[in-house]
Amino acid sequence: MKKIEGNKLVALLLSAGMVTALLAACTINTDELGEGISDLGNAFTVQTEKPTETEMTVTEATETSAETTPEETEAPTPTATPTATPSPTPMPQRVDFSDYTEVDLTDGFTVTLEDFSESVHAQKGDELLGTFEGNRLVVTEASNETVMGAINLIVDGFYKEAEGAFSRVAAKAESVYNLTGVVESTYAVNVSFEYTTNGRVLSVLMRYDVTGVEEDKSTVIDFASFDMLSGQYVTSASVTKDPTGLENALKAALEADIKAKAAVTTTVPVTTVTTEETTETTEETAPKVPGAADFEKFYIGAGTTVGDPNQGIISYVTLFGIVDGEVYSAKVDVSTYAGYLNRYGASVLIV
């Protein structure tokens, strides 16, 4: 819409009044007069347009920025961080094994069992109070002397434990005899070592029994397997990825072996007397044998290796099951259970 400012409107109205007076006085061409009035109005008319919304926003923003612009601060100059120069990757070196010699890792040691016997007598009456006997195990001529020394210390420690048990009961028997003059019961301590080996692993079953006075009777059984190359203990956990599965399978094998050995039945003749004739019958009795669930302790030891390398070798392990102080043992082909063994177990048990 066109708008006319106030002063210019007054001037226009005065001009219109003068023109009206002239029209009353003379005759004029109305068409030309209309054009003249239109031109006159254009001369005093100022066309203004409403500023767009964008222009107003820019103007307001400029004014606001002029009022609120803070003082400019100088930005800190960034400092360059030095980077380490990468070192070149070394090229792999080729190793020539043509000059290496093969080393036999088995049969590098000797095991010796030594029998011994000792006794103790009363100082006053020379009465026999107790005996201490059995055998001792010693490892000699091992290629790894450190391993040999460690094994001998462990085995000797068990022997000294049995020796200490004998010393205690002998001292007790001496004290009782000095008070009563009577030997209530002669004590006996028997210690034994049994070993198996496949040339790489040495397994030792250790046992001692104390007999004599009822309250002092006891049985102690221990077991250990040693890797004669590295010196570490060989246990079911170290040779298999499934210790429980392997032990359950081998316990079942030991149970089957025990039952097979006990399968020889005893025939007992029984005579039945009747009024007419005498009839002889037989009765079969089978001894009670322990099952896999009855083993209080269960050990897996090394076994012998038999066969010809050219025709096939069978590697055995020796199984020991303990029930009420009784030791049951059997040898089984370990290759039957190779699926349970890990890489280390296969290397030390299948040789």
User: Cα-Cα-Cα-Cα dihedral of 288, 289, 295, 299, to 10°?
Assistant: 150
Helical pair 6-25 and 30-44, crossing angle rounded to 10 deg? 160
pLDDT at site 38: 63
Residues 325 and 219 sit within 8 Å (Cβ to Cβ): yes
Q: What are phi and psi of 256, to 5 degrees?
A: -65, -40
**Pick from 244, 249, 257, 223: which is nearest to 328 by CA?**
257
pLDDT at site 132: 98
Q: Measure the CA–CA gap between 297 and 325, rounded to whole angstroms.
A: 10
56-81: average pLDDT: 52
Q: Tell me: the pLDDT tens digits for 149-160?
A: 999 999 999 999
Across the chain, what does the average pLDDT equal?
Answer: 79
Whether the per-residue pLDDT at 275 is higher than 70: the answer is no
Whether the per-residue pLDDT at 4 is higher than 80: the answer is no
**Pick from 117, 137, 245: which is nearest to 194 by CA?**
137
Sign of CA dihedral 125, 130, 134, 139: negative
The answer for residues whose C-beta is within 8 angstroms of residue 232's C-beta and 6 or more apart is 226, 238
For residue 58, what are the CA distances in angstroms to 52, 55, 81, 88? 10, 5, 42, 60
User: Cα-Cα-Cα-Cα dihedral of 193, 199, 200, 206, to 10°?
Assistant: -10
Q: Tell me: the pLDDT tens digits for 174-197?
A: 999 999 988 989 999 999 999 999
pLDDT at site 119: 95
Whether the per-residue pLDDT at 46 is higher than 60: the answer is no
Residues 304 and 198 sit within 8 Å (Cβ to Cβ): yes
pLDDT at site 159: 98
Percent pLDDT > 90 in the chain is: 53
Query: In the chain, what are the domains?
Result: 1-48 (no CATH), 106-234 (3.30.565.40), 236-351 (no CATH)
Q: Tell me: the pLDDT tens digits for 94-115?
A: 555 444 444 444 558 999 999 9
Q: Tell me: the pLDDT tens digits for 207-228?
A: 999 999 999 999 999 999 999 9
| β-pairing verdict for 218-227 and 201-211 | antiparallel
